[in-house]
Chains A and B, each alone.
Chain A
Amino acid sequence: MTRHEVSPYATVMDDGQLTGRPIVLPGAGPYGGDLEVAEPLVTGGKTWAEVDQDICMHAERFPTRRWWIAFSVALAFLGLLVFSLTTLFYAGMGIAGVNQPVGWGSFIINFVFWIGIGHAGTLISAVLYLFRQQWRTGINRAAEAMTLFAVACAGIFPIIHLGRPWFAYWLVPYPNARGPLWVNFNSPLAWDIFAISTYGLVSLTFWYMGLLPDLATVRDRATHPWRRRLYNAMSFGWTGSHRAWRHYESGYMILAALATPLVFSVHTIVSFDFATSVMPGWHTTIFPPYFVIGAIFSGFAMVITLMTFMRGYFGMKNYITLNHMEAMAKILMLTGMLVGFAYSTEFFMAWYSGSEWEGFIFKNRAFGPYWWAYAIMFTCNAIVPQLFWWKPMRRHTAVLFVVSILVNVGMWFERYVIVVTSLHRDFLPSSWGMYALTFWDYAILLGSFGLFFTLFLLFVRVLPAVAISEVKGVMDPKVARGMPSPTPLPTAAGGGAFEEV
């Protein structure tokens, strides 16, 4: 065998056999030492054809019972959203829990929450791409889709939280007959419009571009002429020629470079909604990095949640392996510690600044009437991810799933703490108040999950949920051609199987 064929991909492993550690081949090194090779990114000894089959299958057959159940549930919540929004638009903001002094409530919390969720996708697809993290291929398509749907969910909230949502378009600066009157470029809410729409557009473009070769795959497998035509149109007539691939790869690279700063800018600008105000608890310089890290944290948690589903319900275990899950768990732990650090820094700064107002706000956050929200936030975000110091925890699907849910609960409460506790007790004690979600707040929050999962379930039904072409790129060609290495799985004891010829 030639040297380059000594590749771990040649190894056929099942998901359950993965250890998360390199395979050690004693004495297999070029100079007789041990050779450590990574475990394969795709398990189960899949061939290219099987990859096509496994991934496209969901788009090609009548949906399963499981899908229908999940879809019905999601659709029911979407219906709840539509009904709640109708009521909201008819009756006005009165039905929500916001009041004076807490002028922003669950809608803004949900907005920041969903925008945060939307961060992981582009981070995975663009930043990890630039850093050549090949494991990203298993999850990037779904993560990007998650980003888009999360941004779609997030986009609803700034509009519905308006008192007169039918005038939301006034936020867009375009030549108009109203004076013309422009938006106030001093206002962070105006910046939000640019930041989020840019992020949404670039993410959509990036995601769709990545889809092109896979759409062509679906087209090529299609049997029905209309299906073929549809997917052909969607793939822009992808030919798969070398020229197409060359343009595609460089374009993809450029978009990745473009999308990368957006990952950081969006949540930075969202954080400006708070940081540029005069309210103690909002007016802090730590917010941009704090928000970005928090967003990545919650985004990865959501990816873990979704990947658990995809592994379980859609049989993607061979593409989204335990090693993928472990890698994400590590990121979760890192970002969790970073947000914990941010929480602590805030307290330090409140003390160090000597500002009476700020000192009070932070004491009030942790020990005031909303201590429970702060406790939930701190526990879920800074303490629970510490579980992942233990490798078995990182590789335990149920633990991962629970932690990922807890992290998102914690991250929702982080925004709750920021929005509500800062507003509910500010400068003048006379105007202090409390805030509570109403039925409609809950309905709209749950409804937004309905929208998200409806979109996501539709996505896994009609589009390749794993990036076929990219996954194929990280497979061992030998295995993928259906010619797996005849050698048995090496063990530490067995050794010597990968002798150089």
Chain B
Amino acid sequence: MKTLSTEVLIVGGGIVGASAALVLAKAGRRVTLVERDLCGSRSSGINYGGVRRQGRPVVQLPLSQRAHQIWAGLEALIGTTGEYERSGHFKLARSTADMQALEAYAELSRPYGLDIELISGERLRQQCPWLGGAAVGGSLCPEDGQANPRLVSPAFARAAQAAGAEIIERCELMQVVHDGRDFVAEARLGEDVMQLRAEVMINCAGAWATRLASAFGEQVPLSSGYPSMVVTEPIAHFLPWSLGVEGGSIYCRQVARGNVVLGGGRGYELDDKRARASHDSILGLLPQAAALLPALRHVHIIRTWSGVEAYLPDHQPVIGPSATQAGLLHGFGFCGAGFQIGPAAGEALAELVLHGRSAIALDAFSIARFAPAAAVVPVASSDRLSSHLERKIS
């Protein structure tokens, strides 16, 4: 059996894992990333494509703002624009109460520099002639935007590889233990089984992260969701912003080539890895689309898709050290909102490895919040991580 020894083993080649790999590789660390399918083929590749800070729980905004900076230099970082545009994200209010909620969020998020503009009444009608339905106003975050996840996410992995990370695709982790010194993992690669040894392991396995967490005694109430997506044929440009609806069930954006991408409703799972847009969600979305954007009345949808996204009950991800195992870090459970924040989450995880701490506080995202109170034995893992590696290297 082939054995591979590395410093950092990252499990999962989505945008979070690949971002962590990229930062670590650029810092000169030996990184191996194993991905069960192809990098960026799961949530990171099939999501709506919104690159959005607005609407996030406020506790995520520091990390999200950091991600915003990373996205600003995307092309230089990953070698492709990934069709990223800061076209603006506009969240609609359909009632006074909804508008008040948006106003409250604008206020709450002000310190974080989202530059939110509230638009209503006459200005709304003038600026949004394409808007149908009962919108009383909305909240615009001008620098939020959209990108093509199918291009962006795999490009993070390629950039990590170019920076020296070893990326092994179609490699499924079967089991992992810690032998007191290293993580020892068995993985299947084609017909073969290989052994991987690493001092540090980062669990970025998305909707499948709980298996890895539970191997080290950590139970996380992760559930799978299957957002339904629909895309239209290409049409003349009319929609400048990515749209969401406060308390609503539809979101949409128009890509540069003219197709309108719409999301809303739930698909269904085909097996533990794949999902499809459902009959209900497709038929539920179409009348909403026509009502929201009358320009779509005569337009056809040409494709639908879905995928598996990981949700946690408090709508916050898990980012940070394991509460039970030194050297293990987690970055998963982004609740369908991991695309924009992913690069910063990956960077934060890399910082934990490199410096023993992250520049941005991750306490709100600790896996310990799911542990039964008595069972947590706090591991001073942040100290142990970097000193672990220093000992090894010297």
**Are A and B part of the same complex?**
no
Residues of B within 8 A of A (CB): none
